[in-house]
Structure 1
Amino acid sequence: MKNIHRLLLIVFFIASAATAFASDEHDKHAHHDTHKKEKFQAGEFIMDHIADAYDWHIFSIGDFHASIPLPVILVSEQSGFNMFMSSKFYHGHSAYKGFYIAQEGEFKGKVVEKINGQEVRPFDISMTKNVVAMLISMMILLWIFISVAKAYTRRKGQAPKGLQSVMEPIIIFVRDEIAKPAIGEKNYERFMPFLLTIFFFIWLNNLMGLVPLFPGGANVTGNITVTMVLALFTFIITTFSGNKNYWVHIFNTPGVPWWLKFPVPLMPVVEFMGMITKPIVLMVRLFANITAGHMIVLAFVSLIFIFGEKGAAAGFGTSVFSVAFIVFMDILELLVALIQAFVFTLLSALYFGMATEEHH
């Protein structure tokens, strides 16, 4: 069965790549005469690489672009349900069934259609680059944890071996250094599945985002919608786990003078706003740190092309400095990938601990 699964994955990849190459050849011949050499735009280069996309770009050589097309799934007011591969857009240069990728304006980079002369966004549930990257990371995590769980079942009472010996210290670290101190011995166990999930999910996607080749290179945790959903899960669990003591501290804070609660409920409003801002802090911190790291690396890559336009010597001289700094930043990003997963998990655990803390 494992061999069959591997064979199917290889066939799917080859078929997808072949479709992409064929569409690139069409694109090359159809638009070769209309393309002119333009000045390198560093801003567009950086934003294109950190933004989500409807295909998975592999490499480019001149006018030839190799990429893996992804499914575009749309629900239009005019034509209803539509599903097709992103290769139909020919890298954004062509329209298909009235849909096209906006090159400018409010919906730049998104699929739109024209209704009564105006660009309108259809309901878009496409399998974009970030979506596929998340699915890949989830399959990797499922494979890791199912394999480790089976190993514990087969080898009861024996010392960890192989993948077990790698995962066990990390799981114990999350339990002993994050969950227990932040939540407490009494309540930490019921939050462990969620804390382990977000820790490994964020860490793995951070690491995959540093790999420039497929299946890496997607900016998953640098997408604010992804971090928003993760923070929303933390907020929902905190809210529904809150005990009586938690809600009393929010709406009737003990030890605070009565005139701060009545007739103007100043302290309850402050406490309630604090409850709302906690997940916002989680969302923005992860998004900003990961995006900033990618942008710095891409900025130094851009310097090579900017100075290269002025002359080969300038480009070569800049490349030595840029590549050295990029290597340094990538090594630093390996540490940041772990730190951001740790911080997000720790703050979530602290919020759970505040919600379940008993009255002293």
Structure 2
Amino acid sequence: MVNLKLKLSEKANYLAFLIVFVSLGLASQSILAEEVHEPAEQIAPHQEQFEAGKFVIEHVSDAFEWHILTYKQHHISIPLPIILYSNNSGLNIFWSSKFEHGHASYHNFRIEEEGEHAGKIVELNEAGAVVGLPIDLSITKTVAGIFISVFILIFIFLKVAKSATSSTGRAPTGIQNLLEPIILFIRDEVALPTLGKDKSERFLPYLLTLFFFILIENLVGLIPIFPFGANVTGNIGVTMVLALFTFVITTFSGNKHYWKEIYNPDVPWWLKYPLPLMPIVELTGVFTKPFVLMVRLFANMMAGHMIVTVFVSLIFIFGQIGGPALGGAVSPVSIAFSVFILLLDVLVSFIQAYVFTLLSALYFGMATSDHH
């Protein structure tokens, strides 16, 4: 029993590593910190007004650099690798600091600040006009956050596997004692009831990978200190890839009974002829299920991050309205509510990881169930 759990734990973590790298198709990179100064012409002679909407969006959206803090017009950030392929200039690799926080262009590329391509890297001609979008394979903040979380996952579960191997026959201790009940819970309360004993072992490595990957991403995203704090599961691109994995596994695991119930369900004939109403409904459900998985995880985690930043913004908003005294008076209330939401998000992180894993297991069970 213990050996089975160890094998499942190791498989789950190695699969998590492969999922991220295959889905994103990017090479690993090193992150270097540097302090970048604003150009003199960009510094306003007076203090800029605080824009709450801009502040919230910047903190929950993806970026080409990892901003740490701003102190007296000095931006301390982590430059990330920019990897672009252009039909005109071929492959271009450089650090995001070359863009000077979006204020400069480099090698005929720049980060567009407005318009339909706002937030994306565009290619320029010699006159400075936009000529198109290059193929962008850059290591963004979200991608860097995924790498960090996957390395944490691999480190933790290799340690758990080593601990379990060396303590055979003894009660688990340390981190093994913490994670083993969770692994057993996913197996006994999620995989077995929905898939049965015969099929659960087939899908359990993926379900464990899914649960722990989402859980780690959710939790490290709540820590507002580098190298944590990236809003990974609040990025719809990431949740889309996770939902696509569930969709692909469900589709290719479906047996003949599953597809028969989609294209020729056991319903009265007038629901299938002359208008194939029920087959249309069933086929639509094949695509709405992964869509619901994608949106549910994205919306819940994005909402948690946005609420916290809104509460923090209240300090600066009231400070502009009534001066530092009013801002200071509001700050204890804003901080208290922010801490409460963060604690609530810890619970939500576990719930969302569980719900995503449970629904995936249900879809697998529906696709592989035998005809009764």
Partner letter of residue 287 of structure 1? F
Aligned to 1:263: 274
What is the 5 A alignment of 1:53-202?
53-115=63-125, 117-118=129-130, 120-202=132-214
Q: How many angstroms does 1:318 deviate by?
A: 1.6
Q: 1:40 aligns with which of 41, 47, 50?
A: 50
What is the 5 A alignment of 1:304-315?
304-310=315-321, 311-315=323-327
Q: Deviations over 1:230-254 (max 9, x none)?
A: 0000001011111121111111112
Q: 1:32 to 1:240 in 2, by over 3 A?
A: closer
Q: Secondary structure at the match of 2:265?
A: coil
Q: Distance in 2 between matches of 1:32 and 1:265?
A: 63
Q: Deviations over 1:39-90 (max 9, x none)?
A: 2111111111111111111111120111111100000122111000111111
Contact 2:112 2:118 in 1 (8 A): yes
Over the aligned positions, Cα root-mean-square deviation in angstroms equals 1.5
Q: 1:59 to 1:246 in 2, by over 3 A?
A: same
Partner letter of residue 292 of structure 2? V
Aligned to 2:294: 283
Q: How many angstroms does 1:351 deviate by?
A: 0.4
Q: Structure 1 regions of 5+ residues with no counterpart? A: 1-11
Aligned to 2:22: none
Q: 2:284 aligns with which of 259, 264, 273?
A: 273
Contact 2:64 2:140 in 1 (8 A): yes
Q: Distance in 2 between matches of 1:165 and 1:326?
A: 31
Scaled by the length of structure 2, the TM-score of the pair is 0.88
Q: Distance in 1 between matches of 2:237 and 2:185?
A: 29
Contact 2:38 2:100 in 1 (8 A): no
Partner letter of residue 294 of structure 1? H
Q: Distance in 2 between matches of 1:206 and 1:316?
A: 31
Contact 2:43 2:73 in 1 (8 A): no
Q: 2:38 aligns with which of 17, 24, 28?
A: 28
Aligned to 2:27: none
Give the % identical residues: 57
Indicate yes or no: 2:313 matched with 1:302: yes
Q: How many angstroms does 1:32 deviate by?
A: 5.6
Q: How many angstroms does 1:346 deviate by?
A: 0.6
Structure 1's consecutive aligned runs of 4 or more residues displaced over 4 angstroms after TM superposition are 32-36
Q: Distance in 1 between matches of 2:316 and 2:43?
A: 24
Greater Cα offset, 159-168 or 80-89: 159-168
Greater Cα offset, 292-301 or 109-118: 109-118
Aligned to 1:9: none
Q: Which one has more relative contact order, counting CA pairs under 8 Å at least 6 apart?
A: 2
Greater Cα offset, 292-301 or 309-318: 309-318
Partner letter of residue 232 of structure 1? L
Q: Distance in 2 between matches of 1:186 and 1:318?
A: 58
Q: Structure 2 regions of 5+ residues with no counterpart? A: 1-29
Q: How many angstroms does 1:93 deviate by?
A: 1.3
Scaled by the length of structure 1, the TM-score of the pair is 0.91
Q: 1:185 to 1:85 in 2, by over 3 A?
A: same
Q: Secondary structure at the match of 1:210?
A: coil
Contact 1:206 1:290 in 2 (8 A): yes
